[in-house]
Amino acid sequence: MKRSLLFATVALATISTNTLAQDAPPYESWVGGFAQYYSPDSDKPEPLGYLDDGKALGGELGFRFDPKWGIRFELSRIFLDMQGLNRPGFGDDGVMLGADAMYFLGDDIAYVFGGLRDQSIADSYRMISYGVGKHWEVSDSVRVITEVAGYRDLGQGYNEYSAKLGLAYIFGQTSTVPVRKDTDNDGVYDAVDRCPNSPAGTQVDPTGCSVDMDNDGVLNTVDQCPNTPAGTKVNAKGCSVDLDKDSDGVLDSKDKCLDTPMTDKVDADGCSVLLEKEVSVALDVLFANNSSQIENSDANNIVEFVDFMKRYGTTTAIVEGHSSSVGTAEYNQFLSQKRADSVKDMFVAKYGIDASRLTAMGYGETQLKDTANTAQAHKVNRRIEIKVSAKVTTTATR
C-alpha cells in the first residue's frame, strides 16, 4: 500500500511538472532536501497515544509556473520518539507524502501554502497542510528553505506541527525569473533599475530613476513642493516664486496695488507714483460794463471748473482778474480785484466750494493779452479773463 502510494505520488509529480513546463512560461524550478522538527498529536495513535516529538528528513520538488504561484511535491521519512508506560518500543517511524499549492508574496518576502498529506505511521492518516515559508537566496542557483507548517487530520481531527530547514537547487531557465533584489528599496528590482542608488523615499519611474511628477523642471529628489500647478513658475526647490501679474516690477506678494496700469510708474509697494502738477483753467466770465456783477454764472466752462474742484477735493485755486488798459492803472487794478472777488464769492455761495481753497488776485492791466491801442485790443482785454490755477496730483509715467 505504501509503495503504491509512493509510486503514484512520484508519477503524478513528474507528469505535473512536465505538463506545467510545456503549458506555462519557464519560471524557476527547484529540487531540495530538508530536515524537520516534527511534533505529532499527543493522542496519536489511539487509544495509547504514545508518539512523541521527533524529526524528519526528506526531499521536495517544486515548480514555479507564475511570478505568484507554484506547486510543490514532498516526500519525507519521519522518526518519532515514544512516551508513556505502554509504549511498544523506543521509537517509531513512517513516511509522509504531500503536495502543496504555493503563493509568493510581493518581492518574494515570503510564501504561503496549502495542500494535502498522506502519512503512514503505524496507521494511515489523511491531512490537510498549511503554513508559511521563505526561500533565502544564496546565489543564482541556491536557496535556503525555512518553513513552519501545520497539519489537520481529516479523520480523527489530530493537529500536528513542523519546522523545516533545507537547501534547494534551482534548475531550468532561471533567467526568465528576475533576481528579486531591490538594493535601494525604491520598488524597482535591480535587474531593471537604471538608478540603483536612489536616496530613500525618492519617487522613481519604472526604470528606478527619479522623476518630476509635477513637471515643473525640478526632480522630486529636491522638489520641496511636488504638487505645484501646471505652468507655475518655480525656484530651484520646485516651489512657486512670486509672480508680477501687472508687470510693474514689484512681486505680487509685496504688491499692494495689483492692477496698476502699464504706463504708471510705481513705488516700492507697487502703487502708482503721484506727482503734483500745475494746471490752469481759463474761464470766460462776462461782467457788465465798469461793473463786477457776473452775467453768465451758469456758463458751461464755469460748471466744468466747479466739477473739477469737487473731484479734486484737496486742491486750491487762484482766481486771477485782468482788465484792459483804458483808464488809470489804479482804477483798473481796483476793478480787476473786485471782479476776482466776485468770482470767488460765486464759487463759495452758489456752488459750495470752501472759501479756504480759493484766493482772489487782481492784476489790473499788468498782464494784457493784446497790447495794441486799438478798439479790438481793448475789447479783448476788457473781457476779463480769469485764470484759475491749481496743484493737482497725477500719476507719473514709466
Q: What is the mean pLDDT of residues 212-234?
A: 77
Where exactly are the structural domains of the chain? 2-176, 274-395
Res 345 pLDDT > 70 = yes
pLDDT reported for residue 57:
95
Res 150 pLDDT > 70 = yes
Considering only CA atoms, give the Rg of the chain. 54
The C-alpha atoms of residue 21 and residue 36 are separated, in whole angstroms, by 29
User: Among 231, 228, 272, which residue's Cα sits nearest to residue 249?
Assistant: 272
Q: What is the mean pLDDT of residues 268-294?
A: 72
Res 168 pLDDT > 60 = yes
Q: How many CB atoms lie within 10 A of CB 59?
A: 15
**Secondary element (H or E) of residue 313:** none
Band of the pLDDT at 21, cuts 50, 70, 90?
A: very low
DSSP string, 259-276: T--TTB-B-TTSPBPEEE
Band of the pLDDT at 17, cuts 50, 70, 90?
A: very low
The C-alpha atoms of residue 133 and residue 153 are separated, in whole angstroms, by 21
The C-alpha atoms of residue 263 and residue 248 are separated, in whole angstroms, by 9
For 274-395, CATH gives 3.30.1330.60
**Secondary element (H or E) of residue 133:** strand 123-139
Res 153 pLDDT > 90 = yes
pLDDT reported for residue 215:
75
Q: What is the mean pLDDT of residues 244-256?
A: 72
- Give bridge partners of residue 151 from the DSSP assignment: 129, 160
- For the whole model, what pTM was predicted? 0.41
Res 68 pLDDT > 70 = yes
Among 1.20.1260.10, 1.10.287.610, 4.10.320.10, 2.40.160.20, what is the CATH number of 2-176? 2.40.160.20
